[in-house]
Amino acid sequence: MLNFEFKNPTKIIFGKGEISKISREIPKTEKILVLYGGGSIKTNGVYDQVKAALEGYNWEEFGGIPANPEYEVLLEALKIIKEKNITYMLAVGGGSVIDGVKFLSAAANYEGEPWDILKNGIRTEEGKGLPFASVLTLPATGSEMNSGAVISRREIGQKLGMGGPGLFPQFSILDPEVIRSIPKKQIANGITDAYTHVLEQYMTVKTSATLQDRFAESILQTLQEIAPKMMEEEFDYDSAANFMWSCTMALNGLIQKGVISDWAIHGIGHELTAQFGIDHARTLAIIAPSHYRYNFEAKKEKLAQYAERVWNVTEGTTEEKALKGIEKMEAFFQSLGIKTKLSEYTEDYQGTAEKIQEAFIARNWLAIGEKGIVKPEDAKKIVEMAY
Amino acid sequence: MLNFEFKNPTKIIFGKGEISKISREIPKTEKILVLYGGGSIKTNGVYDQVKAALEGYNWEEFGGIPANPEYEVLLEALKIIKEKNITYMLAVGGGSVIDGVKFLSAAANYEGEPWDILKNGIRTEEGKGLPFASVLTLPATGSEMNSGAVISRREIGQKLGMGGPGLFPQFSILDPEVIRSIPKKQIANGITDAYTHVLEQYMTVKTSATLQDRFAESILQTLQEIAPKMMEEEFDYDSAANFMWSCTMALNGLIQKGVISDWAIHGIGHELTAQFGIDHARTLAIIAPSHYRYNFEAKKEKLAQYAERVWNVTEGTTEEKALKGIEKMEAFFQSLGIKTKLSEYTEDYQGTAEKIQEAFIARNWLAIGEKGIVKPEDAKKIVEMAY
């Protein structure tokens, strides 16, 4: 097991009817800015619950934070924060809104040009960000219990990560009831996103970190178990609760401690979103199987462990089990209505592999993934396999 | 899944050679009291590492905190804290030392009679305890990453629990290398203690909290996997690391969220320690199998799940699997050299069951365990079954 450090101070308030606890957690003296996305919270009842909880507070609101939170939009919110002397932010939304609020938390107390935080990778230390909390409306990214964010700036075609120990939400409210009104397509994306988050931290080499491996496998198995119920028309509270908690645990730092990570699937997937506008989660389902087939030698032992423990594959050699594992994974994504080949999303896929190779070189991503095994020419070949 | 709240702000610093990081974590301006137990840290090298890390700090020390930390001894430490204007405590030890320091953290800022904290169950709120951290030397209790403590006062024959959100260690250093010098008997106790901590939070009713169940099973499986290597003469770092991290995860709050707990084994076990001085962990191994046999109807479905998932028992009815699960559990404790019958520890066991029934009544423990299914007469029968 590798040495590690772990600290996650976010308070999770989980369950039915818990949105009202906002008023217990935020002091009445704070000047609050409530931030949200496209406005679905106004039709699904979440906005009304937040409003009721904020009765007696001094608060403002800022809506319209888009998916892949956009720098220019966030700058407008930053202006309001400064003009209105906001002291506390409440993100009501999914990963995009919460990520956007993390950027604002860092930017509010930053003296220089806000873009520098992203460009120069300036980390926000404990106690240095503007305090914020979240009400999660879309389980997927885990942003509600971690300190990282990804911000886009279309103007210059960039999408950059940021973070730091000062950017954990003070608290996050996870009420599985919010999942009732989420379209099935987004549920499928959320399950795929969380599942791949686990894979990126797990599907590397055989490790001596037995407990972390088993925790990762537990999340994968839970997502597999709840997936069919989540795709049915009827809402099942317990399945929704396990879905929500699995998404959080998939990326709150716990399972990556003491092991090496991969993240090449995300690296390549981001380029497919940039080129074709394919949903983030779907790009992961396109790339993951090809990535594992292409890097089979490096990963076959872990793939076989995955097949054995997560899918109960008991027969065959290590190689046979490993291949079976990849097939099971593909079939799982497909069972959610997620297509796993690029050509199923666009007819215009020829040349994509070369473009991604060039993009990797342009970004100076010369060796990503576990132990740097994915070089630009490997990314090209992986994408070709995913056509 | 039941509604729950979860917050655990302790920073874990895990791995070989990490004790030196004390100096990175504690500001040089603090006046530190280092507290420890019987002095084994002076022979195993831990004291020297702590001393080296505290070079340049203003610090005092207080040794001699006994197992089952004793109130009278802790009052002596409290006097030093007040006389020397201590601003930060560093617990160097196992659960007893860390528990003792938690009491001191609460007592240092408490105006009244310190015993009231225990007698009246006064909780220490966030920011209200004297800050403290720990260097763990004996994995078992999980005290290094939770906010609870148990304190004994022999004078009046009491052993009481305490806690509160202000009593989490600020950081805990977990260096598996400290396990090298721990006697095998204590290793066996530590494995049994952590294993039973998981059982108390897991072996209740069938639950819809799928992820929590799987996390609990992950800890049980990991402890089973590392146990044989931990009992061998030769030290195996990775097994020790998994042992240490499993003990922490067994009682840091995570697996108990959203489910009901039991804790009847601990309730009965404490009485066996009080009457016969049997090691805490060994009392748990005596009581657990009888508790599960006695409350078989209430627990058989979960016992069968345990047998299936943790021990790979695939054949038989629910009842047969459940019984097999109890046998496997007993055999596991025995594989550690832990005897599972009271008569194997003392010839003087007759009448114990009645005494425990009386003790339960005297404590007003009229219905403990999951859903209150263990009444004083049930405790009596469970102990009789454990003779």
Optimal mutation site among A19, A168, A210, A252, interface B, most CBs of chain B within 10 A: A210
For chain A, which residues lie within 8 Å of any Cβ of chain B, measuring from their own Cβ? Answer: 1-18, 171, 176, 208-211, 214-215, 217-219, 221-222, 225-226, 238, 241-242, 245-246, 249, 257-258
Confidence of residue A39 (pLDDT cuts 50, 70, 90): confident
CA A360 to chain B, closest CA, distance in angstroms equals 34
Pairwise CB contact (< 8 Å): B211 & A238:
no
What tens-digit pLDDT sequence spans chain B (387 residues)? 999 999 999 999 999 999 999 999 999 999 999 999 988 999 999 999 999 999 999 999 999 999 889 999 999 999 999 999 999 999 999 999 999 999 999 999 999 999 999 999 999 999 999 999 999 999 999 999 999 999 999 888 788 899 999 999 999 999 999 999 999 999 999 999 999 999 999 999 999 999 999 999 999 999 999 999 999 999 999 999 999 999 999 999 999 999 999 999 999 999 999 899 999 999 999 999 999 999 999 999 999 999 999 999 999 999 999 999 999 999 999 999 999 999 999 999 999 999 999 999 998 999 999 999 999 999 999 999 999
Nearest beta carbon to residue A211 from set B211, B249, B257: B249
Pairwise CB contact (< 8 Å): A210 & B222:
yes
Pairwise CB contact (< 8 Å): A9 & B9:
yes
Tell which of A125, A146, A177 closes a domain: A177
* Chain A residues with beta carbon closer than 8 angstroms to that of B258: 14-15, 241, 245
Q: What is the pLDDT of residue B297?
A: 97
Q: What is the pLDDT of residue B39?
A: 83
> Three-state DSSP class for B251?
coil
- Residue B251 and residue B381 in one domain: yes
Total domains, chain A: 2
* Chain A residues with beta carbon closer than 8 angstroms to that of B214: 217-219, 221-222
Nearest beta carbon to residue B211 from set A18, A245, A257: A245
Nearest beta carbon to residue A211 from set B12, B171, B242: B242
In DSSP terms, which residues pair with A149 in a beta bridge?
A162
Tokens linked to A118: 């992203």
* Chain A residues with beta carbon closer than 8 angstroms to that of B8: 8-9
Pairwise CB contact (< 8 Å): A218 & B222:
no
Q: Which chain B residue shows the shortest CA-CA distance from A255?
A: B215
Please say whether the beta carbons of B205 and B302 come within 8 A: yes
Place of tokens 């999951």: B370
* Residue A127 falls in which region: left (phi positive, over 0), alpha (psi -120 to 50) or beta: left
User: A316 vs A306, A322, A327, CA distance in Å?
Assistant: 14, 9, 14
- Residue A258 and residue A365 in one domain: yes
Domain presence at residue A5: no
Q: What is the pLDDT of residue B382?
A: 98
* Chain A residues with beta carbon closer than 8 angstroms to that of B209: 241-242
Answer positive or negative: Cα dihedral of B286, B288, B289, B290: positive
- Residue B42 and residue B71 in one domain: yes
Domain presence at residue B6: no
pLDDT digit string, tens, across residues A212-239: 999 999 999 999 999 999 999 999 999 9
Pairwise CB contact (< 8 Å): B7 & A7:
no
Tokens linked to A333: 């994504």
CA A18 to chain B, closest CA, distance in angstroms equals 8
∠ Cα A186 A303 B310 (to 5°): 90
Nearest alpha-carbon partner for A136 in A270, A252, A257, A6: A252
For chain B, which residues lie within 8 Å of any Cβ of chain A, measuring from their own Cβ? Answer: 1-18, 171, 176, 208-211, 214-215, 217-219, 221-222, 225-226, 238, 241-242, 245-246, 249, 257-258
- The domain that holds B320 is classified in CATH as 1.20.1090.10
Domain presence at residue B271: yes
Pairwise CB contact (< 8 Å): B242 & A210:
yes
Percent above pLDDT 70 for chain A: 100
Q: Report the alpha-carbon distance of residue B26 to residue A127 in Å, rounded.
A: 16
Pairwise CB contact (< 8 Å): B258 & A245:
yes
Pairwise CB contact (< 8 Å): B208 & A238:
yes
Please say whether the beta carbons of B172 and B11 come within 8 A: yes
Pairwise CB contact (< 8 Å): A1 & B210:
no
- Residue B352 and residue B236 in one domain: yes
Q: Report the alpha-carbon distance of residue B6 to residue B215 in Å, rounded.
A: 15
DSSP state of B255: G
Q: Compute CA A372 distance to the chain's CA centroid, rounded to the nearest angstrom.
A: 22
Please say whether the beta carbons of B299 and B292 come within 8 A: yes
Average pLDDT value for chain A: 96
* Chain A residues with beta carbon closer than 8 angstroms to that of B216: none
Domain presence at residue A279: yes
Domain around B64: 11-177
Q: What is the pLDDT of residue A139?
A: 96
Alpha-helical (H) ranges within chain A are 22-25, 46-53, 71-83, 95-108, 115-119, 184-202, 210-231, 237-250, 264-276, 280-294, 296-311, 318-335, 352-362, 376-385
- Residue B191 and residue B83 in one domain: no
Pairwise CB contact (< 8 Å): A218 & B214:
yes
Q: Report the alpha-carbon distance of residue B55 to residue B52 in Å, rounded.
A: 5
Tell which of B177, B206, B241 closes a domain: B177
CA A44 to chain B, closest CA, distance in angstroms equals 21
User: A253 vs A248, A311, A319, B191, B252, CA distance in Å?
Assistant: 10, 25, 30, 25, 15
Q: Report the alpha-carbon distance of residue B68 to residue B74 in Å, rounded.
A: 11
Task: Write the burial class of residue A140 (CB in 10 Å: 0-12 exposed, 13-18 middle, 19+ buried).
Answer: buried
Pairwise CB contact (< 8 Å): B5 & A14:
yes
Q: What is the pLDDT of residue A159?
A: 85
Pairwise CB contact (< 8 Å): B11 & A15:
no
- Residue A165 and residue A197 in one domain: no
Spatial neighbors of A104 by CB under 8 A, at least 6 apart, are A35, A74, A77, A78, A81, A89, A130, A132
- Residue B53 and residue B110 in one domain: yes
Place of tokens 């995913």: A386
Pairwise CB contact (< 8 Å): A14 & B258:
yes
- The domain that holds B21 is classified in CATH as 3.40.50.1970
pLDDT digit string, tens, across residues A233-246: 999 999 999 999 99
The DSSP result for A325-367, as a single string, is HHHHHHHHHHHTT---SGGGT-S--TTHHHHHHHHHHHTT--S
Nearest beta carbon to residue B5 from set A11, A209, A226: A11
Domain presence at residue B4: no
Nearest alpha-carbon partner for A166 in A251, A89, A82, A102: A102
Pairwise CB contact (< 8 Å): B245 & A258:
yes
Nearest beta carbon to residue B12 from set A5, A13, A18: A5
- Residue B172 and residue B194 in one domain: no
Crossing angle (nearest 10°) for helices A318-335 and A184-202: 160
* Mean pLDDT of the A295-300 span: 98
Domain presence at residue A201: yes
Q: Residue A5: how many CB atoms within 10 A of its CB?
A: 15
Tell which of B143, B177, B211 closes a domain: B177
Confidence of residue A158 (pLDDT cuts 50, 70, 90): confident
Q: Which chain A residue shows the shortest CA-CA distance from B216?
A: A215
Pairwise CB contact (< 8 Å): B13 & A1:
no
- Residue B173 and residue B188 in one domain: no
Q: Compute CA B259 distance to the chain's CA centroid, rounded to the nearest angstrom.
A: 19
∠ Cα B148 B152 B155 (to 5°): 155
In DSSP terms, which residues pair with B32 in a beta bridge?
B59, B88
- Residue B225 and residue B305 in one domain: yes
Pairwise CB contact (< 8 Å): B15 & A6:
no
Pairwise CB contact (< 8 Å): B13 & A2:
no
* Mean pLDDT of the A97-118 span: 96
Pairwise CB contact (< 8 Å): B7 & A9:
yes
User: B187 vs B15, B44, B173, B320, CA distance in Å?
Assistant: 18, 16, 19, 32
Dihedral angle of Cα A111, A116, A122, A125, to the nearest 10 degrees: 30
- Residue A118 and residue A223 in one domain: no
Pairwise CB contact (< 8 Å): A258 & B210:
no
CA B373 to chain A, closest CA, distance in angstroms equals 25
CA A359 to chain B, closest CA, distance in angstroms equals 38
Nearest beta carbon to residue A249 from set B5, B10, B211: B211
* Chain A residues with beta carbon closer than 8 angstroms to that of B6: 11-12, 14
Q: Which chain A residue shows the shortest CA-CA distance from B249?
A: A211
Pairwise CB contact (< 8 Å): B11 & A7:
yes
Domain presence at residue A27: yes
- Residue A114 and residue A236 in one domain: no
Pairwise CB contact (< 8 Å): B14 & A8:
no
| Buried/exposed B282-304: b ≥16 CB within 10 Å, e otherwise | bbbbbbbbbbbbbbeebbbbbbb
CA A34 to chain B, closest CA, distance in angstroms equals 22
> Three-state DSSP class for B337?
coil
Strand-strand pairing, A148-153 and A132-136: unpaired
Alpha-helical (H) ranges within B257-364 are 264-276, 280-294, 296-311, 318-335, 352-362
* Mean pLDDT of the A304-328 span: 98
Size of interface A-B (CB pairs under 8 A): 118
